[in-house]
Structure 1
Amino acid sequence: MNLNVSINWRSISYVCGFLLLALGGAMLIPASLDFLFFSGRTYMKFVAGLFVCGIIGGTLVLANRCPDRMKLGMREAFLVTSLVWVVLSIFAALPIYWTLNIPFVDACFESVSSLSTTGMSTFTLVEKIPKSILLWRSFLQWFGGMGIIVIAMTFFPALRLGGMQLFRSEFSDRYEKILPRLSQIASSLLGCYCFFTVICAVLYHLAGMSYFDATCHALSTISTGGLSTHSESLSYFNSAWIECIAGAFMIIGGMTLMIFVRIAHGDWRSLMRDKQFHTFLSSIFLCSVFLTFWQVMTNGTPLLESIRHAFFMVISIFSTTGYINTDYSLWSPLPLVLFFIISLIGGCTGSTTGGIKIFRLQVLFTIARNHLRHLRRPNAVFMTRFQGYHITDAVAFSIMTLIILYITTVLIIAISLSACGVDFTTALTGSGAVLSTLGVGIGPIVGLGATIAQLDALPKCILMFGMICGRLELLAVLILFMPSFWRN
């Protein structure tokens, strides 16, 4: 295999260095707050992390700063998309490792889980963790959520991942005049993201959360990460108002953020045109109503309690957030199977959610319907369309490939975990939880209030690999394992 291919490593190193500098700058936030308001015992760990990121990141930027060669081709785009997530996760783990004196694998697990917005944890009692570390995890989720939105709306359409090239046409048609440059698209998305985060934090505080809890949960909610400052998740607060606020912002996090950019630029009809949004809301409503009556009929649960738990849990799992307001493991098997399925579906494209994404299933069902119609009328020609755009064979094949690989990867990760001695239920639901970035499954290891700390290093590494694959739409990672990718 010829590894001396035409890959612009200088550009890749420059991007990694620049983002390391940004990560180091972000460490100032928990360091400053710990020094001023928290225990004052952990800020030096973040300062040390800042210096490490600053030295290495600065060196990479200065050594590879060459305007004539700062170009990212297709290979570089695939590489930098995956490499950035790995590099940032390793360096983001340093303050966690130095503060808690835990194995470095566990520290990396926390950072990968946070940046990928998965929300799975190795911590047994979250309440005993320093506030600076809890805040750092929340910020990592927030950064990861924003990062994947920008990548999904800019890089993935160009890389033609899983049918995302369909959205390149939509962007060029509708945004070229109002947002002609990539930097403007990113800044507009960031503005919407920050706006909803601030509003969510204010509402959480008004509903009874402390300033610290409100901030951490707002960062975690809008990013659909799901990490909490309490082991019992949102059930700790036992507040219907807090759950309503969380539900509303989890739905916002599960929507295409670009819709709000359109609305901000005067395109108020965009919400009504978006078929993903309609399907997302209707699916949440139908599943919630079904589970409400199922709980009433099978368990005799009071109606209002069933409505509260069913709607919250369906929104949380559909948006792949993973917040919990009740011990769902005590429910009958049918709701648990439904939760597993909808977690793999996820939310809308261009959101912070994980999963296969609704638009791909919409296209798949349209293809299946046209195929059945073609069997009935062999001479007829049926066009596959999505939101007014023609679905070419290349786009359809790309979507079907991703769905098949997604299901296959869930099984492969589950089998790998089982080979490490993990029981079948934990292996399967844990595999789905990391690949969908939901973060919670069923059982004492991946269930409500559970911790994967008892697992060995190898299954933890398998789960981390699944998180990165799920966060980066699978194909962006798997293509790096193809020998042809590295050949000229």
Structure 2
Amino acid sequence: MSIVIFVNGAVILFAAVLMAADAALFPATAGVFLTAAVLAGAVGLFVMIATRSAKARLDRLHAFLLTASIWLVAGLVGALPLWVWALDPVDAIFEAMSGITTTGSTVMSGLDDTPRGILFWRALLQLLGGVGFVVTGMALLPMLRVGGMQLYRTESSEKGEKELRTAAAYALATLTIYLGLVLLAAITYWAGGMSPFDATTHAMTTLSTGGYSNYDASFGHFTSPFLQWSATLFMLAGGLPFVWYIRVYTRRTFHSEQVTAFLGSVAVVILLLTVWLAWADAVPLAVALRLVAFNVVSVVTTTGYATADYLTWGPVFAVAFFVLTPVGGCTGSTAGGAKAMRWLILFRAVKDRVRAINLPHGVFVTRYEGRAVSDDVLSGVVSFFFFYVLTVGVVAIILDFEGLDTLTALSAALTAVANVGPGVGEIVGPAGNFATLPDFAKSVLAFAMYAGRLEMLTVFVLFTPAFWRAL
């Protein structure tokens, strides 16, 4: 238990260092971040000193607790500068949790005039949250057997990649690829006409699939087709599994069933909706393709940028974007949602079950990447989807009791659990803002973002008495 507390203390201290760095970079808000840095640094240092003799060994139960507690602590300490600056505690926690979970929902308005130090902090939270989840998914979630993540470890340990067989080597390779893509995006955005500051912060929130922007109009502030197409490609890059990038480099192969399924399904959806928009609203085909591609990729990868209020395009698009909200990117990417691997396994398992009903004497084995999917993995996937739907339903009911209309409550719950950002409706849609929601509703949604980012089971197991007895 002490090692869990010690690591959380280190997380708080690391956050304090980042706050001090923000203060040094942006003098206008230096007082805010220095105050927050002193408070966080004192707490983090005290916690680390008090538990400095902690043993470094983690068993499975401690891994659950460590995974859940780190993300909660990161969200709370990330809220500290926002609270010291201007936001009330509930809004600060909502904004920081939305940032660290790369959800992108916001309670802030007037972003065009917000101090750069605050905007940079929001982007930094998403940058850390993006790579943090990938590393967590690589190192801990497979061991915790969360809804098919065991297969992700299998993908991360293929024969022939001897130089990257350890979790530390994979984490370093992932960090290198991640920061390399962020740098490439920043250079591309700057070349496309963004200021250096906008290019840097938007690169951070694009590859993390977080979607925080420096402007109330989101990415729609930039009307350049080049910038919008560039962002579309980089959002897709963030939605692909980082182990796939490693495999492409080490084995020179692009094969991946979930990447193929993900890119293929996204392409089909974009094509269909582009044709519909061009036909129904008489939008030029090239413009329709750009608008649809950007916003579909943004929702599917759970980035949450918007270049237009797609709800004004008609009910077909409202339904389409609502359905796309829980899909998510690939397992092992920075994207949220249910993930392509799980959908693929679920569809194949259902298909095999239907075939077994029709041919009771047949033997049907669900396969992924040419390998049989074990019953353990299948049960994990089914459990994940059960808790996914259950969490969305419970959160929606709570929001409904808080006075939200049914559509807003359901959409807000879904977008929070899926870590998408914008939902459907006037309040939580791409042109809306979460600031008008009651404080209790914001608190519930902040927890939903947290639970959704950690795949539900990792969090909910902590609410069982058996876990604490075994610990």
- Using structure 2 for the length normalisation, give the TM-score: 0.97
> What letter matches 2:182 in structure 1?
T
Counterpart residue identity of residue 376, structure 2: A
Q: Which residues of 2 match residues 355-394 of structure 1 at below 5 A? A: 355-394=337-376
8 Å CA contact 2:101, 2:130 repeated in 1:
yes
The 5-angstrom pairing of residues 322-401 of structure 1 reads 322-401=304-383
Are the equivalent residues in 1 in contact too, given 2:138–2:167 (CA < 8 A)? no
The yes-or-no answer on 1:239 pairing with 2:239 is no
**Offset at residue 376 of structure 1 (A):** 2.7
The one of 248, 264, 280 equivalent to 1:282 is 264
Residue 247 of structure 2 corresponds to which residue in structure 1?
Answer: 262
**Relative to structure 2, which stretch is displaced further, 310-319 or 52-61?**
52-61
Note the 1:219-238 alignment, pairs <5 A: 219-238=204-223
C-alpha separation in 1, matches of 2:424 and 2:375: 39
Query: Out of 149, 155, 176, which is 2:134 matched to?
Result: 149
Q: Which moved more, 1:277-286 or 1:161-170?
A: 161-170
Q: Give the equivalent residue in structure 2 for 1:28.
A: 20
Which residue of the partner structure matches residue 74 of structure 2? 88
Please name the residue that 2:33 is paired with. 46
Partner of 2:454: 472
- 1:237-278, Cα deviation, whole Å (9 max, x unpaired): 1111001110011000000011222233x3111x2x211111
Alignment of 1:174-323 (within 5 A): 174=159, 177-264=162-249, 266-269=250-253, 271=254, 273-323=255-305
**In the alignment, does 2:118 pair up with 1:126?**
no
Q: Pick from 407, 424, 445: which aligns with 1:425?
A: 407
Q: Deviations over 1:15-48 (max 9, x none)?
A: 101111211121233211112xxxx2x1122122
Give the equivalent residue in structure 1 for 2:84.
98
Moved more, 353-362 or 436-445: 436-445
Task: Give identity over the alignment, percent.
Answer: 36
Matches of 1:357 and 1:461 in 2, distance apart?
25
Q: Would the alpha carbon gap of residues 64 and 176 (structure 1) be closer, same or farther in structure 2, given more than 3 Å must change?
A: farther
Q: State how 1:386-465 maps to structure 2 within 5 Å.
A: 386-465=368-447
Counterpart of 1:66, as a letter, is: S
| 2:95 is aligned with 1:110 | yes
Structure 1 residue 175, shift from structure 2 partner:
7.1
| 8 Å contact kept, 1:135–1:216 | yes
Give the SS at the match of 1:173: coil
1:169 and 1:147 map into 2 onto residues whose CA distance is 20
2:270–2:289 Cα contact (<8 Å) kept: yes
**Number of positions where the alignment pairs a residue of Structure 1 with one of Structure 2:** 470
Q: Is the 8 A contact 1:124 1:450 kept in 2?
A: no
Question: What letter corresponds to residue 110 of structure 2 in structure 1?
Answer: L
Q: Mind listing any 5+ residue stretches in structure 2 that lack a counterpart?
A: none
The answer to whether 1:65 aligns with 2:47 is no
Instruction: Give the whole-Å Cα distance in 1 for the aligned partners of 2:139 and 2:216.
Output: 36
CA distance in 2, matches of 1:175, 1:238: 46
* Counterpart-to-counterpart distance in 1, 2:220 and 2:247: 35
Which residue does the alignment assign to 1:17? 9
Question: Is residue 78 from structure 1 mapped to residue 70 from structure 2 by the alignment?
Answer: no
C-alpha deviation, 1:475, in angstroms: 1.0
2:270–2:293 CA contact under 8 A, matched in 1: yes
How far apart in 2 are the matches of 1:340 and 1:196?
29
- SS in structure 2 opposite 1:345? coil
Deviation at 1:322, TM superposition (A): 0.8
Structure 2 counterpart of 1:222, one-letter code: L
1:89·1:112 contact (CA, 8 Å) conserved in 2? yes
8 Å contact 2:104–2:419 — kept in the other structure?
yes
Letter in 2 for 1:316: S
TM-score (norm 1): 0.94
Q: Residue 27 of structure 1 contacts residue 46 of structure 1 at CA under 8 Å; is this kept in 2?
A: yes
* Mean Cα deviation higher: 113-122 or 173-182: 173-182
Match of 2:145 among 160, 164, 167: 160
**2:144 is matched by which residue type in structure 1?**
L
Deviation digits for residues 105-161 of structure 1 (CA, Å, limit 9, x no counterpart): 111111101000011111121112211000000000000001000011111110000
